[in-house]
Chains A and B, each alone.
Chain A
Amino acid sequence: NAGVMQNPRHLVRRRGQEARLRCSPMKGHSHVYWYRQLPEEGLKFMVYLQKENIIDESGMPKERFSAEFPKEGPSILRIQQVVRGDSAAYFCASSRQGSGSGNTIYFGEGSWLTVV
């Protein structure tokens, strides 16, 4: 019973490099979400995607961050020209429905990005 799969679990990047985080949702789930947890802070919503569509990116920083969920393959969160402040845990989550009664969202184990 595979849950939400994220990789890599840990990623180290130098300032200015690109980071790519991948997420495969749970089987039967077509709604994907990305959250970020900065050190000593709570999780914050970043973006909501369905296949080939960005539904809500209101939590995404305006620059350097992008997300996609192609027709085939995992969802990708891409951070260009990383800076130290991007160091955080990035969690992907998925659900069967996008909303509705008692919608339950399941999280992956996270990808820890460290920018040196």
Chain B
Amino acid sequence: DAKTTQPNSMESNEEEPVHLPCNHSTISGTDYIHWYRQLPSQGPEYVIHGLTSNVNNRMASLAIAEDRKSSTLILHRATLRDAAVYYCILIHSGGSNYKLTFGKGTLLTVNP
């Protein structure tokens, strides 16, 4: 399975934008890029996903590099409730793509 690399931790101030990077240099053409986050003592929460084009939803934006070897999750205005571990996960289209591989993720700290 293609792997992802994320920084261990990042810090942001409240109401500022946050850019969370993810490298996935061995991504295959049929791998979707998914982002989940896990708040303390809760289950992972789906954030956003994309294949090739940039995506926006009410929670965040996903910017995907043209060569798809990296992507960035963008939180436009961080709030204290965005403090969580963010996971970048590749999900293959087809096959056993329910076996999500959660790495260590990026621990986002949001300062008031």
Contact = CB atoms under 8 A, between A and B. Distances in A.
Given A91-B43, A100-B93, A105 B98 contact: yes
Q: Counting chain A CB atoms within 10 Å of each CB, which of B45, B51, B95, B97 scores highest? A: B97
Interface of B: 32, 34, 36, 41-46, 49, 51, 91, 93-100, 102-105
Contacts of A69: none
Contacts of B44: 43, 91, 93, 107
A99 interface: yes
Overall SS of chain B's interface: loop
Given A104-B49, A107-B43, 14 more contacts: A42-B104, A43-B102, A48-B98, A48-B99, A93-B43, A99-B95, A99-B96, A100-B94, A100-B97, A104-B34, A106-B46, A107-B46, A110-B42, A110-B43
A56 B45 CA distance: 23
Interface of A: 4, 31, 33, 35, 42-45, 48, 56, 59, 91, 93, 95, 98-110, 112
A103 B45 contact: no
Contacts of B103: 42
